């Protein structure tokens, strides 16, 4: 008789973690199109894992986190 297997939570791929880092950096630098491109490159399974971790650690979703980051970057003067 086989044992029931526990559901394995989705994992964030190495590529997705790099894309998320690039998106957050682009937002901080005011480069909206680059941020969107980086976010769109993240695979669906990694998205689920990112959302799961954010909800557990931060208590909110990625959209809320990104909007907060964008607001903070608008409050700071641009580095030129």
pLDDT band at 73 (very low <50, low <70, confident <90, very high): low
Q: Taking the model in full, what pTM does it have?
A: 0.69
Q: Higher pLDDT residue, 33 or 71?
A: 33
Report the distance separating Cα 17 and Cα 57, nearest Å.
16
Q: For residue range 24-65, list pLDDT tens digits in order.
A: 899 889 899 999 999 999 999 999 999 888 888 877 777 787
Given a contact cutoff of 8 angstroms between Cβ atoms, the answer to whether 14 and 22 are in contact is no
Task: Tell me what pLDDT residue 80 has.
Answer: 43
């Amino acid at each position: 008789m086989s044992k029931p297997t526990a559901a394995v939570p989705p994992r964030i791929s190495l590529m997705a973690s790099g894309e998320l880092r690039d998106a957050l950096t682009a937002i901080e630098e005011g480069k909206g199109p680059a941020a969107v491109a980086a976010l769109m490159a993240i695979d669906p399974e990694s998205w689920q894992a990112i959302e799961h971790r954010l909800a557990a650690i931060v208590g909110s979703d990625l959209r809320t986190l990104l909007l907060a980051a964008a607001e903070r970057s608008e409050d700071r003067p641009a580095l030129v």
